[in-house]
Amino acid sequence: VQLVESGGGLVQAGGSLRLSCVASVSISSITVMAWYRRPPGKERELVATLSSEGLTNYADTVKGRFTISGDNAKNTVSLQMNNLKSEDTAVYYCKAVRRFVASWGQGTQVTVSS
């Protein structure tokens, strides 16, 4: 599965961004899609997941601010990020697990200025 992220950029604290991840296959055939992020100088961490059954899960640090959603018609999974904080600054990666094989996108930079 090939994944292409977009939507990153520079935003002020309190602002919003929407990240998109376009898959090369139907997302209905993907068991789990997820967003991860790697903050500067830190390890990559899980942000949110979306299962093929429509179940979602979020890291405690983003609950209530971020929303993951899928659009089967566009083979796209999005991450709506509201009330952004400086600690959300990171490279954000899309991940897909299909038939026990994990695929990653190239990442998109999100920078939140305080």
**Length of the chain in terms of residues written:** 114
Q: Does residue 40 contact residue 89 with C-beta atoms inside 8 Å?
A: yes
Q: What's residue 36's pLDDT?
A: 98
State how far the alpha carbon of 50 is from the alpha carbons of 10, 15, 28, 36, 112, in Å: 26, 24, 11, 12, 25
Helix, strand, or coil here: 41? coil
Q: What's residue 25's pLDDT?
A: 94
From the number of C-beta atoms within 10 Å of its C-beta (0-12, 13-18, 19+), residue 90 rates as buried
Q: What are the pLDDT digits (tens) for 12-66? A: 999 999 999 999 999 999 999 999 999 999 999 999 999 999 999 999 999 999 9
Q: What's residue 9's pLDDT?
A: 97
Q: What's residue 76's pLDDT?
A: 97
Q: Which amino acid is it at 49?
A: T
